[in-house]
A and B are shown apart, each in its own frame.
Chain A
Amino acid sequence: MSEPVTRRDLLHNVVRGSVLATLGGGAIFLVQKAHGQVVWQVDASRCSNSRLGEAGPENCKLCTTECVVALSAVRAVNEHSKCGRCAICPAYFNITSAVDEKGLPSEKKCPRDAITRKPIGRADPEDPANNFYEYIIDEEKCDGCGKCVMQCREPLGLGSIVLRVRYDKCVNCNKCAISRACPKDALMQIPVEQALQAPEIRHSTE
């Protein structure tokens, strides 16, 4: 005999259904691949590319090299609400490259040219290079190498760019190959419900 459905259960299911409908395809991937249990995600507070206090000139590339998926399921994501929209973004530009005639660094940072930007608001005609910019990461190009993440971390940047497992790319191995290699134990399994609540998942479905 089945359990009676309470008013609370019903309400919970309606809300859950609404969230799933809102999230669309990405959520379907998520639910299918999670087998109703847990999914892998990167904990930015542990990741050496984004962690405040971690020193070292080179970015950790294990998310790129260890994932069993051909182009890693880990991608860089810009959390726009945290982004400073800087004119000279260290994640976009190679800030140690030569400065061009506009006063900007002449090289970009991303080796796959996955980051683009567009100005926001009114440009100053006397100072066109200085404005707010929206930075957009093309996840079809990004391989999760973490170079931009490392440049955006505090205190150099604001830490708005972080690495995230994309659920529509991840095959949800029982023992994630990246997690086995990660020296910081930054790959962790989280409940599907928690993953569904994470705002950045929406980017993968848009």
Chain B
Amino acid sequence: MEYRQTRVIGGKGNAPGQFATSLRSLAVDAHGQVFAAGDSGITIFDAAGRVKRRWSTSRPPLSVAIAGDGGVYAGELRQIEIFSSAGKLVNTWKDETLLGRVTAIGFVQDGVLAGDAADRAIRHFDRNGKFRNHIGKDNPVNGLLIPNGVVDFAVDAHGVIHAANPGKHRVESYRPTGELLGHIGRFHGTDPAGFGGCCNPTNVAVRDRIYVTEKGGPRAKVYDFSGNLQAVIASEAFDPNCKNMSVAVDGRGAVYVADTVKLNILVFEPVTV
């Protein structure tokens, strides 16, 4: 299995569609539109990479996710802002304790999940924002090991949550109730099938497979659900100082990775032989 880079979206700068200081999170909707959380707002690119819309959030966005009804959720410090697809603010969930630093958002059938990096856990809320339970916290170290400062996870078609646990060099799978189902991954400093460095992988996406990014040196990889490496999607393409590179996958299997130094979105597509 191989991938080739097909497009670059965004970049560093002040022009429309560029990012001045930060590019923290990506999401792709069913139409191939790319939602990017960066600087102080949300930018939407169409499937061709053109800027379609941009709006500001009340605090710098740390994460973005698209709900099934088209609502856009922006994770921030101590709150989640919920927008319509047109960018109109619909609701704000505030919680000093449960939403300390929301670096990832996801959805299960009747709930909303928020990764809180301040407490190294995932929070499970109902669709009205009422707290249900913690995920990833019931262990001897009271949470996910995230020296990199970001909790990231993705939800598969069966509602299973795949969470990066970089300090353990794993992607762990959980039920929405918080039950740990298993994990893939192991440390290895030289074998590309392993996760290197102090703490990898940092970010996760899931569709037909599990997609991850690593830092120092940065790379994007894809695994099957049993943990077998399918491909190193890219390694040379990123600035070597990148870390916490958000990753997303669209319906065609194209992989979108945020370069957090060059502030662009690199698109990789599978090569059919």
Would B189 and A99 count as touching, CB distance under 8 A?
yes
Would A130 and B198 count as touching, CB distance under 8 A?
no
Does A88 make an interface contact (CB < 8 A)?
yes
> Contacts A103-B187, A155-B216: A87 and B168 contacting too (C-beta < 8 A)?
yes
Does A122 make an interface contact (CB < 8 A)?
yes
For the residues of A in contact with B, the DSSP-based class is loop
Chain B interface size, as a band, is 20 to 34
A132 to chain B, nearest CB (A): 6
Would B145 and A96 count as touching, CB distance under 8 A?
no
Kindly state the separation between the CA atoms of A89 and B167 in the bound complex, as whole angstroms: 10
Does B169 make an interface contact (CB < 8 A)?
yes
Contact residues of B between 56 and 106, Cβ < 8 Å to A: none
Name the CB-closest residue of B to A155: B243
Does A32 make an interface contact (CB < 8 A)?
no
Binary per-residue interface labels of chain B (193-224) against chain A in the complex, 1 for a CB within 8 Å, 0 otherwise: 01011110000000000000001101000000
Contacts of B194 in A (CB 8 A): 99
Name the CB-closest residue of B to A52: B241
Residue among A94, A97, A131 with max Cβ neighbours from chain B (10 Å): A131
Kindly state the separation between the CA atoms of A148 and B148 in the bound complex, as whole angstroms: 18
Would A88 and B188 count as touching, CB distance under 8 A?
no
Would B147 and A85 count as touching, CB distance under 8 A?
yes
Contacts of B147 in A (CB 8 A): 84-86, 157-158
Residue among A87, A123, A124 with max Cβ neighbours from chain B (10 Å): A87
Question: Would you list 25 pairs from A and B whose C-beta atoms are within 8 A, ordered by A residue?
Answer: A52-B241, A53-B241, A85-B147, A87-B168, A89-B198, A90-B198, A95-B196, A96-B189, A97-B189, A99-B188, A99-B194, A103-B187, A121-B141, A122-B140, A123-B140, A124-B140, A124-B141, A132-B141, A132-B145, A154-B243, A155-B215, A155-B242, A157-B147, A157-B216, A158-B147
Chain A to chain B: the 8 pairs with minimum beta-carbon distance, closest first: A84-B147, A156-B216, A155-B243, A86-B198, A95-B189, A122-B140, A96-B189, A124-B140
Q: Can you name 8 extra interface pairs (CB under 8 A) apart from A88-B187, A155-B215? A: A86-B147, A87-B168, A88-B197, A90-B197, A97-B189, A99-B189, A123-B140, A155-B241
